[in-house]
């Protein structure tokens, strides 16, 4: 049983080192539309799809969302000495959707790599969990994910509220060997620093929902 109350969970050795080597090789032989940070919308890539629907990940997602949890979006993050960046404290509040709706609690709207996105209300984000599969070892020095536990229970926060929360917080660095998984609610306040060494830190960030049909007229886009 996974503890889901703090908004995140760190699970070691979900996949073997050999499995992660196979995923790395599969991604390196696939032509991806890359950005500096990695690649968006990679769920349709066969090696990524195989990971996303693996029974081990579905079971982890099910602990948060129920047995019908299903993947709807995947992103490759690829951080290294030559492609290095930091991410400030934030929540993940944008969801890919199939079409616009008139509900004023959704938006502003944007397009990312051809996919429609909207800033979502808290009730929708509470039906989502992200599973971050570490393709490489993560450590304190190669820019790991850092989270502030229990912040997912505060709803969608303003930038000022996030700054106030993090000023006095004790963040947790989510470090694990390749094959480990970090499960995280999107409203958990999180960040990552620049890498300080030469080791790559590649992560498959796969998002799951209890259902893609969140409400009448609001359907998640599979990306």
Asked if the model's pLDDT at residue 101 lies above 90, the reply is yes
Q: How confident is the model at residue 171 (pLDDT cuts 50, 70, 90)?
A: very high
Q: Which residues pair with 209 in a beta bridge?
A: 70, 128
Asked if the model's pLDDT at residue 84 lies above 90, the reply is no
**Is the full-model pTM beyond 0.85?**
yes
Residue 112 phi, psi (nearest 5) = -130, 115
Residue-range domains of the chain with CATH: 8-219 (2.60.120.620)
pLDDT (average), residues 66-70: 95
Asked if the model's pLDDT at residue 45 lies above 90, the reply is yes
pLDDT in tens, 8-35: 999 999 999 999 999 999 999 998 988 8
Asked if the model's pLDDT at residue 48 lies above 80, the reply is yes
pLDDT score recorded for residue 199 = 84
Q: Tokens 């000022």 appear where? A: 160
Angle at 182 between CA 97 and CA 127, to 5 degrees: 35
pLDDT score recorded for residue 187 = 98
Asked if the model's pLDDT at residue 80 lies above 80, the reply is no
* Measured torsion, CA atoms of residues 135, 132, 49, 62, in degrees rounded to the nearest 10: 140
Other residues' Cβ atoms within 10 Å of the Cβ of residue 112:
12
């Amino acid at each position: 049983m996974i503890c889901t109350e703090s908004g995140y969970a760190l699970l070691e050795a979900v996949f073997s080192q050999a499995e992660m080597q196979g995923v790395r090789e599969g991604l390196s032989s696939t032509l991806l539309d890359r950005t500096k940070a990695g690649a968006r919308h990679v769920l349709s890539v066969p090696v990524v799809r195989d990971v996303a629907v693996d029974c081990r990940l579905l079971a982890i997602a099910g602990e948060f969302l129920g047995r019908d949890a299903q993947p709807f979006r995947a992103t490759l993050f690829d951080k290294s000495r030559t492609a290095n960046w930091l991410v400030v404290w934030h929540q993940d509040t944008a969801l890919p959707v199939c079409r616009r709706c008139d509900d004023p609690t959704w938006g502003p709207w944007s397009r990312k790599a051809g996919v429609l996105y909207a800033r979502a209300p808290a009730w929708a984000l509470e039906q989502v969990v992200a599973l971050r599969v570490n393709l490489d070892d993560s450590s304190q020095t190669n820019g790991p994910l850092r989270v502030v536990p229990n912040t997912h229970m505060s709803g969608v926060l303003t930038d000022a509220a996030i700054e106030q929360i993090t000023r006095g917080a004790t963040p947790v660095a989510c470090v694990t060997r390749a094959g480990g998984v970090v499960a995280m609610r999107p409203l958990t306040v999180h960040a990552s620093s620049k890498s300080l060494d030469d080791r790559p830190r590649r992560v498959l960030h796969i998002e799951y929902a209890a259902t893609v049909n969140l409400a009448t007229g609001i359907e998640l886009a599979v990306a």
